Structures are given as structure tokens and as C-alpha cells.
Structure 1
């Protein structure tokens, strides 16, 4: 039976997420790279989060303050989050692959003044201490270059348990997470307490995580899917999730699935494709009963392979940072329907979705492409109200009467109500489930003295779904492999290690409208239509 959360009156987030569950129940199993594991119970998390709240309060953190984490999956991460939510502070997640400039933008925009970072991430934030007035705490051993950074675990050990949890209104914030778009800086998405209802609904109807399940959401908590459904939703439901520390590999993923008897698995399509590409010989029968994918469309070949080799189909789900998952091929028996390859499924209970005609706010005919939209008044789980301090970008997401929220994606709906993803109507690139705004990469490329302008596009990639390629106009001269490598390294160090262009094309000019607007869609069309001059690769 679905124990629905009610977050429509003032409540304490720590009670919802931690304190209300049996103290001896396991909340998370933290798995190391050697497959050793440690269980964290709700009782242990309540005690450690009370001390974490006391430590943060001693640093001056108060209700509504922003606290950022630059941390991988770990028990320390969960303790930090529960501690700051116990105070009513707001979590700002930072992806560990980000470089210092990308981190700086998110910290300065959110106003975060406290950052908890893994020891191997400290070198990225220490240079920002004076510039942004930061207090930085080290989770794990600090490098020699950061000898004076306070140790988070030592701060915890100095505090006593017993810090009470503040009571928040439904509209008070738990998280401020950033999402990238076509132009401009990343946009802050405020996530209020009431969003827990929506996260719990997907956790139940979409993923169907049951009490006896061994659940594993493999997504990174620096991004929405990993945070919403790997941390928040399992805590709210009192279900255990596995947290695999360190880097991903297909071999290790296979080992975790087998060793820990995972029965319910959620991950990006890239992970399923990696498992398919590196399937080991002689792997034992898996316990897997349900598998789910999100972040980008799932191809039919992977669905067929999973059914045959994993013992279960992979059901595709659709959502956004701004709302979580809203269209699903749900596993729970009351919403489960046949899988139609290429389809995102049907609206999650609590949402009403529609495919609108491209030129007007009326339903498109079955099979016709249109704008995927949410009927806001008819969707009680719709919690997004707008980007932080960005009314212009917020207005772009809504119809003039406020009824429709436009996802920015196009799709089609068949006569049976199945929704099919077609394309994004902006230029955001989704690579291995990560949303990458081309503007951020282009802004980094523009800092190179030889670059006059550039355009970054997504190109189909069998493993990642999409990969980045850059088209670069130089101020003078011609491109070279050495310059291409230099530009790739520049993006790695100034934006994010995962978001560098896999190929660099040096061109004389970029396609633009008469008003000068970049037409990335023409580059994509040209790239897919012909194998022209090869890129200059590093």
C-alpha cells in the first residue's frame, strides 16, 4: 500500500526523512570499490544528523542559508544533508566533475557561504575562499595544498546529539539545484518541501520500490535524478538504497548487481549500454526484477537485450530538474502497461500531460509532433514555480494564462495515449544523462586568445546517447591537432571534465540568422547529412 506523504502543512523535514522510521532499519548501504560495505541505519543517521546540525549551527548556518556540497556518494554526504535540513538550511548540490569556474558560478549565484567538499575536491574550492567569503569543510583527508581546512568528522565528534528539527512550510526550500540551458548562466531551480510528494509518487508508481527490495539508484546525487530518487525519495519512504563510492565501471556494476542481489535498479541509458557492451562471461543469474532508465530516450535494442540478459525489461521514464519525473512507463501494478519501444509512457498519477500543437495551446492530433506540456491546474504534484531571481526565463516556460508549463521538448502522442519523445526545442545536450548547456562550453572556448567564436552541438553517440562536438572560428590562421587538444583541455579545466568536445571542427564561419542568432540546428543537420571534412581531434 502506498503510504503517501502529506506535505501541505508545516512539518519538520528531518521527521519526514529520518526520524519517523524504525531506528534499526537500514537507510543506506555504502559500498566501496573493493565491494566491502557498511550499513547506515535510520537511528545512526538521526544521531549523526543532530550532531551535524549542531556543527553547522556553530558555524553560523541558519534557516534559509545555502550550504553546498562537492561530494560523491557516501555516508558523510547523507549526514551533511540531513543536518542542514534539520536546521532548515538549503542544499546546493555541486557535481564533482565540475571545475572551479563552474563551481564559482553556482556558489555566487546561490549565495552559499559554506561548502563541504571531499578531500580530493578541495583544490577546486580553496581558490574561491577569499573571493566568495567561503567557509570550506573537508570530508576526508585534505591534500597538502589545503592544510588549514577544518575536518568535518572532527567537527561532528565535538558536538552532542539532540538538536531539534525546525518546522518548514510546504513552500520552504530544501534544495536549490542548477540546470543549464541554451543561453546564459545556469538557472537555479528552487525545490520546496512539497516536492517530496511528487518524488514519493514516482518512487512508488514509477519505480515500485517495495519494502523487501534491494534498491540501487546508480545516478550521481550532484544531479536531479540521483538526489531526488537516490537520497530524498528513499529517505521519505524508509527504503534502503545502495551508494557506490568512487568511479563507475561496467565490471564493478555487474559485480554489485550480482553480489548484493539487487532487485530494483535505476540508472541512465548509458549505464545499461555499458553493461551490454561489457557483459562478462559466466555471470550468475541476477535477482533483478525491475529496471528503470531516465535522463535520455532509451533505444529498443537495449530494452530487448535487458529482457534477455538481465532477466527484466528496462522501463523508460521522462522528467526534468524542474519537476522530477512526470511521464513514466510505471512498474507499479495500477499504472503498469505494455512497453512500446520509443515511448515515455503515460503521465505519472498527480500530473496531467499533453502534446500541444506547435503554433497554439491546443492538443495535437495523434501522431503529430508538438510541444510536451504540463497542465498546471490539473497537476497537483507540479511544484516548480520559477527559476531563482530569473523572471524572464521563468516566463518562457509558461503560457500567458499560466495554464501550461512547456518542458522545452517536442514529442507525439498515439491514439492510446502513449507519449513519444521527439527532440528538444532548445540546444541542450544530454550526454550520458547529464544536461550540458552549449553556452557554458562556448563561453570557456571564447577565453582562448585564438578563438573568435564557437558553437557546440550534440552528435548521436552509441554509448553516451550524445557527445559534444565544437565548431570553432579562429581569429587567424588554421587549426591543428595541438590547438584542438588545447581547447579540449581548456574545457576540462575551466568547466567540467565530462563536458569537453570529443571533436573540434575548425570552420571559416558559423550559420546565423540575419539578426546574428546562432543556428546550431543547421550544424547538426550538416553533421548528420554528410561525412565532410574530418574534425581535428586530439
Structure 2
């Protein structure tokens, strides 16, 4: 059974804008370095880097001119290391200027950038480098030791070594134009339900990223924009690095770990007006009673559905709504509660919105799906060396791409996420999405984070179990377990309460903040 949504508002200006992006980024002679940096005002600030030095925030503005000059010189150094068109280069760094310089230098050679998240352990890093056939890795001092056991890899370390290469290399004379269909990035899926799969990200994908920056996030020229996500995963890379560069906007790069206090300080001191982050960030901020009194123009979330309590909290703490957006590594964001006034609609809590201009969607046999023929911004064509896994995503006639996420659509064309297809819990014939139960449990003041999974049960097929991270100073007791069970009974459904509540220190998550429920299912 297929359910289709009405197409987004068809403003002539919206259609013309999308057509222009597709023409620019999808051209046969598209040059990624030219499009991302060289065509922009050299004096404009591309990124502001932030370091924490004791009690001080040290900020440095990085202009488009500085990015162009450094990346041209580093491209020469990489070419001398044997990197050329089609080669892959791993980048294992946090949010720092050298990461952007490396990405652009790789693009100038027509090579392919493999992002490596700094929280990865050596086996995860080696798997991606091996699958991507990378021979060179650019890293930073704190991460270099993770590469010691990887054979056949040349390592370039940020700091003195990278600086010397940039300083002593002549700028490359001409950047390679690979065209819109060739790969710019090779990013691996988060592995929520299995082994990570390689996703080649083409130059034409920049059209989709630009669209989300403009219509989804509504990043204006005078915004102080901060996408706090890490560029080691899709949301941070697509919309914290590539998206801002594609439109000539500025982003902040914080080279430090997350804390509510630091986040509040940066928003205040740097005057952030447009903020994007994972739900985990907003959830943590909402538990901090001192995080209030802000005035943001825009706030957006992606990665997991927002629970209603966070949306309500934001109205007073941030003086704006937090709008939930939905996407995948394979496509970027494509169903959103859009911010741009040309396509914005009133927010309905619990909904992830409507298809982004340039995409059309529907519900196919319970799954959220993309109408391929009606989605000119869709750029994903297949996984790296995995035709069987690719074919499983497309219907036989190639009309629909199946996301693997279950959901529903209301009479107004708004989408609601239910669960990953294999995360649905079937208990005594009832299909229960974990998000429904989690949305209730997270409202308890003692609950900082929560995940719900199904466990095998001889009588019911499956029963629900909850894994709960408590707020600081709270202990897990039998009484608290009963209180949480009763909360679900009264707040959602009597049959859907968790039969067991496990109190844990942390939940296993992917780099993008998605809960790895398959790990929880194996825990005792």
C-alpha cells in the first residue's frame, strides 16, 4: 500500500532557486573547490574557530581567502605524496581549521575525502580506511596513535608537520573539475542496525545541502550560525562544513567537548542567532535549570525525534521553537519543519514536517519512502561495492527508495517517525514504536536519557525493556522503576509499560547520536 504526500508549496522562486543550484552543482564541469571556496569573497569569514584556554575562549576568524591559499598549497603537498583524481584520503580530526583545509585540498585534486570520527576506536577507523582503500590519513596529535597499527598508511599530522607542508609548497596551478556526478566524499552509514556501508557523496549533492541550509535552517547572511554537530558524521559534515561553504555562510567550529555551560557561554558571547544540534544536546540543556534567557532566531534538531517536553521548554528558554528535521546519510535532510518563510508552516509537535522542496515522499508499506522520479535533488545512487544492499533500498521499478524507517502521514501531509523498521516492538500482536514510550519516560525529572527495546518473551513474543540514564545525584531504586512503569501506563498505554527498567551510566550511540538498540538487546 502506498500513501503519497502533497507536493510542497510550489513558489516560482523556490523552483527557480532549486533549478539554479542543480545547474551549478550538477554541471559536467563542476569544480568543487571553485564552488566551495574560490568563487566567494576572499575577505568574508568562512569559519570562526573556538578553543578553550583555561577560563578564556580563543576565537580565530578564517576567511575564504585564507582557506583558498592554504588549500592550494596543501593540495600540492598531497599530490607529491601520490594523491590524484579518484584516490581516497582519510581525515581524522576534530572541529578545527585544518579539517576544512584538508577537505578543500583533497577536492582540488579530484580526490575523495573519508571522514573519520575522533571517538572511533582503531578497529572502526581501520575498517573504513580499508573499505575506502585510503593510503593517506590526515590527523591531529591527539589521534595519531590510533593509526599506528594500520599498515600501508602515510600519516600527516596537523600542527608543525602540516604547517610546514603548507608553508613550503607552491600553490597548485589548477583545481580538478570532476563534474557533478563524481564523488567528493565517502561517508559510512552509522551502523545503527548492522555493519556500516559506504555512501559516495557526489558534487551534485551540494545542491541538496544548499537547499536545506536555505529552506530548512533559513541561515541568513547576517546570522551567527552554529551547527554544533561533529563533522565526523553526516549532519555535521553536510551542514556544518559543506552546506555553509556552498552558500558562502559562516559556521562556528568549537574544538572542545560538549557541556551545557560551555554551550550557553558561546551562544551568549558570540551572539549566536541560528543554532542546530542533535536532540541529545537539547535534552541535556533542558535538564539544566540555568540554561534560560536566550533569544535565538532559529533552532533546529536532527538525528532522533524531539520529545514534546523539549519543544515546550525551548519556547521560554530559547525564545523560539526547536524544529525537528529528518534525513539519512544517504540523502541528507529531506523532510523538515522548514524555517524559511517561503515554505514554513506551523509546527506540530511530534511531526518531522513535510518534504523539502526538490524532494517528494510517501509511505510505502509502512515505510517512509522517497519518490525518486519526482525528487530532482536526490543524489544517492548506491552503496560502495554493495549492489545487493543498494537494490534492497529501491523498489523493482526504481520509483521508490525505501528508507527502512517506519512512519505515518496525516491528512495534511505531515510525517511522523515511528521507528527503524527492525526496532518496532511486536508484543502480543501490538506494534509499539520505542519513541512513543521514550517520549513519556523522558518527561520524568530524574531521567536524562532513555532507550526502549524489545526482548524475546515466550508468552508475548516480545516485551519492552527500558534503559535509563539518570540525572546527577539520583539513584536507581525499585520504587523509581515502579514510578517509571506507572508513568508509561498512565501517559501512553497500559500494555506498553517496560517490564524491566535498567539504570545505566550511558547509552550506546552512533557518532550521529542515534541509539544503537541492537547493542542494548544483547545486554543483561
> 1:77 and 2:96 equivalent?
no
Question: In structure 1, how many angstroms separate the alpha carbons of the residues matched to 2:351 and 2:503?
Answer: 34
Question: In structure 2, how many angstroms separate the alpha carbons of the residues matched to 1:351 and 1:262?
Answer: 30
Task: Please give the per-residue CA displacement for 1:28-86, whole angstroms capped at 9, x wherever unaligned.
Answer: 00011232100000000000010111111111100111001110000111101111111
Q: Give runs of aligned pairs for residues 413-428 of structure 1, distance below 5 A.
A: 413-427=409-423
What does residue 73 of structure 2 align with? 51
Question: In structure 1, how many angstroms separate the alpha carbons of the residues matched to 2:401 and 2:235?
Answer: 20
Using a 3 Å threshold, how does the CA distance of structure 1 residues 464 and 413 change in structure 2: closer, same or farther? Answer: farther
Q: Give runs of aligned pairs for residues 355-374 of structure 1, distance below 5 A.
A: 355-356=363-364, 358=365, 370-374=366-370
> 1:298 and 2:309 equivalent?
no
SS at match of 1:120: coil
What does residue 211 of structure 2 align with? 201
Contact 1:174 1:193 in 2 (8 A): yes
Using a 3 Å threshold, how does the CA distance of structure 1 residues 533 and 115 change in structure 2: closer, same or farther? Answer: closer
> 1:397 and 2:393 equivalent?
yes
Question: In structure 1, how many angstroms separate the alpha carbons of the residues matched to 2:407 and 2:178?
Answer: 38
Contact 2:49 2:96 in 1 (8 A): yes
The CA deviation at 1:169 is 1.4
State which of 65, 81, 84 in structure 1 corresponds to 2:87. Answer: 65
Q: Give runs of aligned pairs for residues 27-38 of structure 1, distance below 5 A.
A: 27-33=46-52, 34-38=56-60
Q: Give runs of aligned pairs for residues 74-113 of structure 1, distance below 5 A.
A: 74-113=96-135
> 1:159 and 2:130 equivalent?
no
Using a 3 Å threshold, how does the CA distance of structure 1 residues 220 and 464 change in structure 2: closer, same or farther? Answer: farther
Q: Give runs of aligned pairs for residues 7-406 of structure 1, distance below 5 A.
A: 7-9=25-27, 10-33=29-52, 34-128=56-150, 131=151, 133-140=152-159, 151-181=161-191, 185-280=195-290, 285-356=293-364, 358=365, 370-406=366-402
Q: Give runs of aligned pairs for residues 475-490 of structure 1, distance below 5 A.
A: none
Using a 3 Å threshold, how does the CA distance of structure 1 residues 287 and 41 change in structure 2: closer, same or farther? Answer: farther
The CA deviation at 1:155 is 1.4
The CA deviation at 1:152 is 1.5
Question: In structure 1, how many angstroms separate the alpha carbons of the residues matched to 2:113 and 2:200?
Answer: 10
What does residue 510 of structure 2 align with? none
Contact 1:200 1:233 in 2 (8 A): yes
Q: Give runs of aligned pairs for residues 431-510 of structure 1, distance below 5 A.
A: 460=438, 462=442, 466-467=450-451
Contact 1:181 1:427 in 2 (8 A): no
Contact 2:75 2:172 in 1 (8 A): no
Aligned pair count reads 434
Using a 3 Å threshold, how does the CA distance of structure 1 residues 338 and 183 change in structure 2: closer, same or farther? Answer: closer
Task: Please give the per-residue CA displacement for 1:430-451, whole angstroms capped at 9, x wherever unaligned.
Answer: xxxxxxxxxxxxxxxxxxxxxx
Question: In structure 1, how many angstroms separate the alpha carbons of the residues matched to 2:120 and 2:453?
Answer: 19
Using a 3 Å threshold, how does the CA distance of structure 1 residues 60 and 12 change in structure 2: closer, same or farther? Answer: same
Task: Please give the per-residue CA displacement for 1:164-214, whole angstroms capped at 9, x wherever unaligned.
Answer: 211111111000000144665310000001100000011100000000000
The CA deviation at 1:344 is 0.5
Question: In structure 1, how many angstroms separate the alpha carbons of the residues matched to 2:391 and 2:202?
Answer: 19
Using a 3 Å threshold, how does the CA distance of structure 1 residues 343 and 57 change in structure 2: closer, same or farther? Answer: same
Q: Which structure 2 residue ranges, 5 or more long, are not aligned? A: 1-12, 425-433, 457-475, 477-494, 506-522
Question: In structure 1, how many angstroms separate the alpha carbons of the residues matched to 2:296 and 2:397?
Answer: 46
Contact 1:354 1:373 in 2 (8 A): yes
Question: In structure 2, how many angstroms separate the alpha carbons of the residues matched to 1:404 and 1:466?
Answer: 33
Question: In structure 1, how many angstroms separate the alpha carbons of the residues matched to 2:99 and 2:501?
Answer: 47
TM-score by length of 2: 0.78
The CA deviation at 1:318 is 0.2
Q: Which structure 1 residue ranges, 5 or more long, are not aligned? A: 142-150, 359-369, 429-456, 473-502, 504-525
SS at match of 2:187: strand
Task: Please give the per-residue CA displacement for 1:98-130, whole angstroms capped at 9, x wherever unaligned.
Answer: 0011111111000011001111011111111xx
Using a 3 Å threshold, how does the CA distance of structure 1 residues 528 and 116 change in structure 2: closer, same or farther? Answer: farther
Contact 1:270 1:464 in 2 (8 A): no
Task: Please give the per-residue CA displacement for 1:228-264, whole angstroms capped at 9, x wherever unaligned.
Answer: 0000010010000001112111110000111111010
Question: In structure 2, how many angstroms separate the alpha carbons of the residues matched to 1:55 and 1:239?
Answer: 28
SS at match of 2:211: helix
Question: In structure 1, how many angstroms separate the alpha carbons of the residues matched to 2:168 and 2:502?
Answer: 63
The CA deviation at 1:280 is 2.2
The CA deviation at 1:279 is 3.8
The CA deviation at 1:532 is 7.4
Q: Give runs of aligned pairs for residues 509-528 of structure 1, distance below 5 A.
A: none
- Aligned Cα RMSD in Å? 2.8
Contact 1:326 1:348 in 2 (8 A): yes
Task: Please give the per-residue CA displacement for 1:362-417, whole angstroms capped at 9, x wherever unaligned.
Answer: xxxxxxxx210000000000100010000111111110111100010011111111
Contact 1:258 1:287 in 2 (8 A): no
Contact 2:67 2:101 in 1 (8 A): yes
Using a 3 Å threshold, how does the CA distance of structure 1 residues 182 and 20 change in structure 2: closer, same or farther? Answer: closer
The CA deviation at 1:470 is 12
Task: Please give the per-residue CA displacement for 1:319-353, whole angstroms capped at 9, x wherever unaligned.
Answer: 00000000000000011001101001000000001
SS at match of 2:148: helix
